[in-house]
Structure 1
Amino acid sequence: MGCRMSELVVGPMLRYVDSASASIWVETSEPSRVDVHAGGTRGEAETFTVHGHHYAVVDLHDLPAGAVPYTVTLNGQEVWPPPGGRAGVIRTMPEAGPRRVVFGSCRTSVPHDEAHTATHGIDMLRAYGRRMADQPVEEWPDLLLLLGDQVYADEPTAGVLEFIRSRRRPGEEPVDEVADFEEYAEIYRQAWTDPDVRWFLSTVPSSMIFDDHDLRDDWNTSATWRAEMAKVPWWPRRVVAGLGAYWIYQHLGNLAPAERAKDQLYAALTAEPGDGAALLDEFAKRADEEPSSMRWSYARDLGPHRLIMLDTRAARSLTPGDRRMVDAGEWEWFAEQVAGARSMENLLIGSSIPVLLPEGIHHVESWNEALCDGAWGAAAARLSERFRQAFDLEHWAGFRRSFDELTRMLARCGTRVLLLSGDVHYSYLARLRAGSVYQLVCSPIRNPLGRVLRLANIVAGFGLATVGGWSLARLARVPRPPYRWRIDHGPWFHNSVAVIDLRGRPVVTWEGPGEGESSGLVALHRVALGK
């Protein structure tokens, strides 16, 4: 390997952490030997290359308890912390489990100037990182969960659009959308390299799962959608690039070192002396065409708590008349993870899309699914499919078999269940009237709805709309849900992040922008969960 000067392009990102080990993810400008030093502990790895980009995941073992600053060197040159900047910190997971877990979804990475703050509000991820810098380490969260739409490939920011247009002919499709791996690499770079966001991601361990905008709006909403997209000339390249980039930028860091060591693609890429683009693209193509070939979902035990991050996009079974949010193989794996959590204090399930919606919206989605499956004839089915795609009627309620099976399973699982979701661009807390099942929704981190859409969601989901939605569902002979639920708190439409304090009885706090707060964050809503 040559000794050209290498720089950090993205990262370092602190990803998987347990009670004694940690994994640091980086992208570098040149092929590099990456060394990470944390106190007396050292880890190293050589980068691997795909599509001309260079990546490494460095594992550190036998770490001491407490907060340990770390440095990163590339080919012997120290590149982190940046000159005059703050060092990232590694904190191992407490044996008793995480004290605080932060979660949220839906973040656009527009600039932080006055004009964009007026249209998009404060970036809660950035604001949280800024406040942490002034807090004692003991008040920092132990884990960050990003529940989808980490990037918007179909709605790029002005900075990404400038990059796209610089390498395309005018009018070349897809117009003003991400097309290939190079453009995905750029959208991730712009999303994760603001200095405050970068420090936050270098210091707080993170676990992630995708939602539709990481690929494209309505991704896998139905078999009809897939058939329509298959006819679009640029889509095959886009989905291969999107899944390949997700594997690199998000999925790799979700894995424990032992799990990553068993990953065949990772082994092949790290053994490949050249560019492994063909290997990555072949994997991504198969993952799209044969969803059962890849399980994006994963589970972790965090002391007395179990976390399941569930893929509710790529694992769908879209057979009309027998739609499933996750296919049979994925469901069997998920059921085993839930059954194994019976003795846990809390079961946290990350589902990018909410399970328990406002009842009015729930009934409309179930009604729409029945019509798409032919309850009112072929003409109504075609119209209902357009309605499904136009209004995003694809949550668990739009996969009623899966919704019914899931709520029955969770109501009987014997432990407290916290369903963590985003997607809908507002936040709320709902409770199932069976078992101890809570739906916690926090969205967006930075992508608020306009006033008209806020009003439309309130009208559609609450009040008389509940009766109207149920009436439509009954006319289509949709059965009643197994259990009732209600929205106990919310909805709230501001940008926010949610913090779950797991010490004893869980307390959930939604934090958002405050008037005159230099930190940009105040506790807006706080709810203690029941037993």
Structure 2
Amino acid sequence: MTQTTKAIGPILYLDHVDDQQFHLAALFILPKGAEMPALETSFGQVQQQVLTEYDAATIYRARFSLPPGAQEYLWNGETYPLHLNLQDDTRLAFVSCNGEETGDLDREGSERNVMWARLRAEHRAAPFALLLHGGDQVYADEVTDGHPLTQNWPSSIPDDPGDLSSLHHHLRERFLERYAALYTSPDFAWLAARVPSVMQWDDHDICDGWGSLARRATNSAVGREIFAAAREAYLIFQAAAVDGDLPARFADPHGGHLGWAIHAPGFRLVAPDLRSERTRRQIMGPGGWAFMETQPPLRPDERCILMSSVPLLGPRLSLLEALMIVVPRMQRYEDDLRDQWQSRGHREEWRRMLRLMVEMGRAGQNVIAVSGEIHLATRAVMPLDAGAVLHQLVASGIAHRPPPKGWARFLGALSTLGDDPIAGKHIRIERIPGQAGRYVAQRNYLTLDRRNGAWHACWQLEDSGRSPELAL
């Protein structure tokens, strides 16, 4: 049973933004029976509501709106300053992969969260307006442990599990445990109370390889119960929402897919859902593709920033998939490779998405894609039309330790082959400024700065420090 002995929060989210208002939500995890202090702004006290209950905790949400600029709110005797500016000069931070598959809750805090501490210090020096979380905000792989129906998931799946109410309760409580542990980390908690977050989920927010596992696993009664529990936890802890009450930035109010978009002055932030409709044969279903393909045309002065939890541009991983056929020991990586846009099983869908990027570039602006997932830092480019470029920026992960440097060198060698999924649009894996290799095996995060209308990116790397700026 999850023990909640102190208040956790506020965790601040951006619900949506319009020309005159930032619409925000603050999330709180309180011990059951504890009194919820009021949240206040300069406009008065904010109404709060109970989102849901757990065995030992109650989840509260307070939604409120503030105009752009330097603002603040008060809760429980503390004042939280905000830098609500998405126009003119502005700063965004991008993080991903906040954990590890095994034993993450047992890691020593200062080692695990060293990059969060750097991000906190950077915000103090030059504040961020928005914090983008690009997937694997939690590593939920161990939530299935401890229950007989999921103890050996996904290797062993009961054909007739019977009543799933016990499993439902077990999974809910274990998801709460993981989110509560992460949200009490001091540096994360400090930042999350002062910088609004927007979050896009990936497989570990559900379980390792969700959507790329065998259909027998994901379509089973137990598999659907795992997905339902993960989806509820995503809405609560990554969006301060529940079904039927999604923030306005979400494209489908019914939650059939969880893609969303934010329209800010001079740029549009678009985050398709690459997990809700995913199978081994598709990355997005009808809802997700309709969301992407009905995006309004970009204005000439508008830049698109696409959040793709899995990198949109990468090396020819289809060659590795072909190699797995003759090297059986490699077959344990099949799910990891099937997860990628570059997988042979998704190549037509990949081309479909890249053609959309070409269309977005016809507004006359470069397109920026930001991604996580691979536990390395890298970047890539693909030409669009009329001199525009698609920039792929990968920052992964902020807490997940990197793979061996040999794997980074291998991917760098593989990337020299290049790829042309669309004729005449050759993909190149490029080096991060200041780095000798194309893939950097260090923990990292990314910052995006707009100054005088021009965008620049920097990687903060655990060992190498801050990279030189990359003009976008």
Unaligned runs of 5+ in 1: 1-5, 73-78, 82-86, 157-163, 265-292, 372-379, 471-478, 516-521
Which residue number in structure 2 is paired with residue 405 of structure 1? 352
Check the 8 A contact 1:421/1:442 in 2, yes or no.
yes
CA distance in 2, matches of 1:44, 1:102: 29
Q: Cα deviation per residue 1:489-520 (whole Å; 9 max; x = unaligned)? A: 231121111001122221100013358xxxxx
Q: Give the share of equivalent positions with the same residue, in percent.
A: 21
Any idea what SS the aligned residue of 1:219 has?
coil
1:487 aligns with 2:461: no
CA distance in 1, matches of 2:366, 2:6: 42
CA distance in 2, matches of 1:97, 1:402: 35
Given the superposition, is the C-alpha separation of residues 395 and 330 from structure 1 closer, same or farther in structure 2, using an over 3 Å criterion? same
Q: Cα deviation per residue 1:431-455 (whole Å; 9 max; x = unaligned)? A: 103332110100010112242xx31
Given the superposition, is the C-alpha separation of residues 97 and 25 from structure 1 closer, same or farther in structure 2, using an over 3 Å criterion? farther
Aligned partner of 1:349 among 306, 312, 333: 306
> Letter of the aligned partner of 1:437 in structure 2?
L
1:511 aligns with 2:460: yes
Given the superposition, is the C-alpha separation of residues 298 and 526 from structure 1 closer, same or farther in structure 2, using an over 3 Å criterion? same
Aligned residue pairs total 426
Q: 1:526, CA displacement in angstroms?
A: 2.4
Which residue number in structure 2 is paired with residue 333 of structure 1? 291
Check the 8 A contact 1:34/1:58 in 2, yes or no.
no
Check the 8 A contact 1:192/1:198 in 2, yes or no.
yes
Any idea what SS the aligned residue of 1:46 has?
strand
Which residue number in structure 2 is paired with residue 500 of structure 1? 448
> Letter of the aligned partner of 1:191 in structure 2?
L
Q: 1:345, CA displacement in angstroms?
A: 2.6
* TM-score where L is the length of structure 2: 0.79
1:152 aligns with 2:139: yes
> Letter of the aligned partner of 1:397 in structure 2?
Q
Given the superposition, is the C-alpha separation of residues 236 and 92 from structure 1 closer, same or farther in structure 2, using an over 3 Å criterion? same
Q: 1:457, CA displacement in angstroms?
A: 4.0
Aligned partner of 2:369 among 419, 425, 446: 419
Check the 8 A contact 1:363/1:397 in 2, yes or no.
no
1:90 aligns with 2:82: yes
Check the 8 A contact 2:256/2:287 in 1, yes or no.
no
Check the 8 A contact 1:218/1:392 in 2, yes or no.
no
CA distance in 2, matches of 1:142, 1:214: 25
> Letter of the aligned partner of 2:32 in structure 1?
E
Which residue number in structure 2 is paired with residue 55 of structure 1? 59
Which residue number in structure 2 is paired with residue 142 of structure 1? 129
Which residue number in structure 2 is paired with residue 160 of structure 1? none
1:123 aligns with 2:114: yes
> Letter of the aligned partner of 1:311 in structure 2?
D
CA distance in 2, matches of 1:48, 1:310: 25
1:309 aligns with 2:271: yes
Question: Hey, which of these two has a bigger chunk of helix by percent?
Answer: 1
CA distance in 2, matches of 1:10, 1:433: 46
CA distance in 1, matches of 2:89, 2:212: 34
Which residue number in structure 2 is paired with residue 15 of structure 1? 13
Unaligned runs of 5+ in 2: 155-166, 432-437
Q: 1:102, CA displacement in angstroms?
A: 0.5
Q: 1:196, CA displacement in angstroms?
A: 2.3
Any idea what SS the aligned residue of 2:47 has?
strand
Given the superposition, is the C-alpha separation of residues 397 and 258 from structure 1 closer, same or farther in structure 2, using an over 3 Å criterion? closer
Q: 1:140, CA displacement in angstroms?
A: 0.5
Q: 1:111, CA displacement in angstroms?
A: 6.5
CA distance in 1, matches of 2:257, 2:301: 24
Check the 8 A contact 1:212/1:218 in 2, yes or no.
yes
Check the 8 A contact 2:51/2:241 in 1, yes or no.
no
Aligned partner of 1:70 among 59, 70, 73: 73
Any idea what SS the aligned residue of 2:209 has?
coil
Check the 8 A contact 1:23/1:60 in 2, yes or no.
yes
CA distance in 1, matches of 2:118, 2:106: 13
Residue pairs, 1:205-220, within 5 angstroms: 205-220=196-211
Check the 8 A contact 2:272/2:288 in 1, yes or no.
no
Which residue number in structure 2 is paired with residue 228 of structure 1? 217
1:458 aligns with 2:462: no
Check the 8 A contact 1:345/1:416 in 2, yes or no.
no
Check the 8 A contact 2:83/2:128 in 1, yes or no.
no
Any idea what SS the aligned residue of 2:338 has?
coil
Check the 8 A contact 1:33/1:46 in 2, yes or no.
no
Check the 8 A contact 1:100/1:141 in 2, yes or no.
yes
* TM-score where L is the length of structure 1: 0.71
Check the 8 A contact 2:30/2:36 in 1, yes or no.
no
Given the superposition, is the C-alpha separation of residues 297 and 499 from structure 1 closer, same or farther in structure 2, using an over 3 Å criterion? same
Residue pairs, 1:103-502, within 5 angstroms: 103-108=94-99, 110=105, 113=108, 117=111, 122-133=113-124, 135=125, 139-155=126-142, 168=146, 173-174=150-151, 180-221=171-212, 225-230=214-219, 234-252=222-240, 258=248, 294-316=256-278, 318=280, 323-337=281-295, 339-357=296-314, 359-361=315-317, 363-364=319-320, 386=331, 389=334, 391-398=336-343, 399-413=346-360, 414=362, 415-434=365-384, 435-451=388-404, 454-459=405-410, 461-463=411-413, 467=417, 481-482=422-423, 483-489=425-431, 490-502=438-450
> Letter of the aligned partner of 1:48 in structure 2?
L
Q: 1:344, CA displacement in angstroms?
A: 4.4
CA distance in 1, matches of 2:106, 2:48: 33
Any idea what SS the aligned residue of 1:396 has?
coil
> Letter of the aligned partner of 1:219 in structure 2?
W
Given the superposition, is the C-alpha separation of residues 466 and 127 from structure 1 closer, same or farther in structure 2, using an over 3 Å criterion? closer
Any idea what SS the aligned residue of 1:397 has?
coil
> Letter of the aligned partner of 1:442 in structure 2?
A
Check the 8 A contact 1:20/1:92 in 2, yes or no.
no
Check the 8 A contact 2:29/2:180 in 1, yes or no.
no
